[in-house]
Amino acid sequence: MEETLIAIMALLAGQDGLSDHQVGKKLGLGMSQLNRALTVLTASSLADGESLVRTQQDGKRRTLWLTEAGRALCP
């Protein structure tokens, strides 16, 4: 699971604003696996009480963005 979390953050560091389907396709993840990882990355218990990834729902499309805390962890 840790490798999945790192891969999602690295992908978003290079290209913020991808849909969850685009992230899943680029990383070869099923939606259930991606959703479990996003549950961890969006938890507010990370990075001094901030989440690392935020999501934005636009109709049926969910877009993913790194937060400032998430960006600070990416090289």
Please report, in tens digits, the pLDDT of each residue of the chain (75 residues total).
789 999 999 999 999 899 999 999 999 999 999 999 999 998 866 667 788 999 999 888 899 999 988 888 887
Q: Is 16 left (phi over 0), alpha (psi -120 to 50) or beta?
A: beta
pTM: 0.86
List alpha helices for 15-57, DSSP H: 20-27, 31-41
30 secondary structure, DSSP code: -
Residues facing residue 61 across a β-bridge: 58
Query: Which of 67, 70, 63, 65 has the alpha carbon at shortest distance from 21?
Result: 63
